[in-house]
Chains A and B, each alone.
Chain A
């Protein structure tokens, strides 16, 4: 028996060696690799690399759909610096990001911790929390326009019932952005599920050890849960920040592309879209796209650099 096993083993090894030799002779594995990856290599060139580099070029031209345009150097960029709506759209976008991103993290983590508790009916709770994420964004925008309607909306109806007078949410410059933040927070399900997955990965022994030491719930939260969740928080922070700067569908649908009232809902990407496809100023819009790209890159870099101070990886 033992002898046979040994000879089998030898045969296997021989076979493996032979196949490795054969492969390396024709460098088969490299060919296979590129072959398997070929759809993506083509996709990368066609749908990412080519557009990325053409976009740099366009941003220095007066490109429109009808004419190839001419090279004008930095003119588009210079013109943007004195474009009032451009700055307004930046203000709106940054305002949204500054409030929405931290709120979504605090509320998201809190919800995930609630949904991670061992109580009955959790499957139902989890489905409820994920429900809004499944509502198409256009439908979501429409639904909240109706909820926040100053005349007939549910929100002001509820406020009225408890003796408060609700504002003209989407119709007032002061309240339009907070309204948008509120409705964006409603569809927070995706990061919550990612936090949940992260919470599931925290080793149970750590809690048991903390229990032995007589740690309180608060201590466990701040000394065990949150530090071990920081890698996931970091991931959601990067994704959330990138997403916040690309806000488009909600304000576009709600204002039918107008950004009303008084451009208070004109977001950066909306203005970019208008320039490209409404005014056919493709070059100008490409310059805007590149400014956005650079801002997102810088922001991501800042988050990455700061992460060394606050993100704790297990086993490090």
Chain B
């Protein structure tokens, strides 16, 4: 009897702890959704009320008219999708060479790659801005897309750890059959690495979708703005359009939540493979 009671007590206290902590994480989020559905008068009532009365769905329509929402959405989507494709093409390829190929200079290059992760973005920010300015890319989305095709150190590192775990025998067998190195990579190794490639893609998608400083630096024309920059336009001298802003925030968060929901297995797996130990 004694151990059973003890176990029940532990489960119950775990649930209580989880519920209390959940409130801290869930309530602000729900508050965002609830504010996005409130009429202006209710937004400014005190004490605050949680349930919108009435549900003001028109905030969502109004928000898409207050800023050029669909233009910003498609700008965000284009930048996010292209740079995600870039990372998914470049990082596995480079990681494969670090994990499975033997070449002079490989170890040195790998150490440099790890060291590069420590460089704060702010150090490279100014010269990169000047470089992109010189080639006429400032004011276009290119600086936010093109670098992804040349690899991201964190993702290369993550992919390398994954490839290291794949057996060499497959590669040797294919080699004897006379397959070229690229064919081995493309037709055997890459399909096996699918979960890691997807995880790397999801990381990139999340980072770029929510990126603020990149678009802030490089996008000068309002017609090229992303949603992150668009959100700022709800704050003006006259005050903040809270309901509309929360509606856009909700719309901006939703796609990532859906993506995360369907891919969380892969996502967590991807982190597990990052070899942080």
Contact = CB atoms under 8 A, between A and B. Distances in A.
B47 A157 contact: yes
Given A46-B150, A186-B24, 13 more contacts: A33-B97, A34-B97, A41-B109, A42-B150, A54-B130, A125-B22, A134-B257, A161-B47, A186-B28, A200-B272, A289-B123, A292-B123, A297-B118
A288 to B, nearest CB: 8
Interface of A is mostly: helix
Interface in B194-210: 206, 209-210
The 5 closest A-B pairs by CB, nearest first: A33-B103, A43-B150, A36-B97, A139-B249, A136-B210
Contact of A36 (B94, B119, B121, B210): B94
Contacts of B181: 32, 36
Interface of B: 10-11, 14-15, 17-18, 21-22, 24-29, 31-32, 35, 43-48, 90, 93-94, 96-98, 101-106, 109, 112-113, 116, 118-131, 133, 147, 149-151, 156, 172, 175-176, 181, 185, 206, 209-210, 212-213, 217, 227-228, 231-232, 234-235, 240, 242, 245-246, 248-249, 252-253, 256-257, 260-261, 264, 268, 271-272, 274, 276-277
Nearest to B91: A40
A260 interface: no
Contacts of A235: 276-277
A40 B122 contact: no
Nearest to B152: A43
Given A39-B90, A137-B210, A29 B47 contact: no
A128 B25 contact: yes
A60 interface: no
Contacts of B121: 246
Given A134-B260, A136-B210, A296-B118, A34 B151 contact: no
Given A29-B103, A36-B97, A286-B126, A132 B150 contact: no
15 contacts: A44-B113, A51-B126, A51-B128, A52-B124, A129-B25, A136-B227, A138-B231, A139-B252, A142-B249, A146-B31, A147-B28, A197-B276, A286-B127, A297-B118, A314-B277
A30 B246 contact: no
Contact of B128 (A47, A153, A186, A273): A47
- Chain B CB within 10 A, most for which of A15, A39, A139, A217: A139
Contact of A152 (B43, B105, B113, B122): B43
Interface string A105-137: 000000100110101000001111111101111
A222 interface: no
B174 to A, nearest CB: 11
Given A135-B253, A194-B271, A40 B126 contact: no
A139 B68 CA distance: 17
Contact of B150 (A29, A39, A253, A286): A39
A228 to B, nearest CB: 10
A77 interface: no
Contacts of A157: 46-48
A50 B231 contact: no
A161 B46 CA distance: 11
Contacts of A16: 172, 175-176
Given A44-B112, A55-B123, A134-B257, A111 B21 contact: yes
Contacts of B128: 47, 51
Given A65-B130, A127-B264, A282-B130, A292 B120 contact: yes
A98 interface: no
- Chain B CB within 10 A, most for which of A160, A201, A276: A276
A310 interface: no
A182 B230 CA distance: 25
Contacts of A245: 120
Contacts of B44: 151-152
A186 to B, nearest CB: 6
Contacts of B131: 46, 50-51
A152 B46 contact: yes
Contacts of A246: 120-122
Given A134-B257, A146-B242, A161-B47, A43 B151 contact: yes
A197 B268 contact: yes
A154 B50 CA distance: 9
Contact of A256 (B17, B32, B235, B249): B235
Nearest to B20: A114
A243 to B, nearest CB: 10
Contacts of B133: 65
Nearest to A276: B126
Interface in A3-24: 12, 15-16, 19
A151 B239 CA distance: 14
B123 A52 contact: yes
Contacts of A119: 11, 14-15, 18
B272 A36 contact: no
Contacts of B15: 119
Contact of B28 (A130, A143, A217, A269): A143
A288 B90 CA distance: 32
A290 B119 CA distance: 10
A300 interface: yes
A157 B11 CA distance: 32
Contacts of B156: 40
A115 B106 CA distance: 40
Given A34-B103, A40-B113, A143-B28, A54 B127 contact: yes
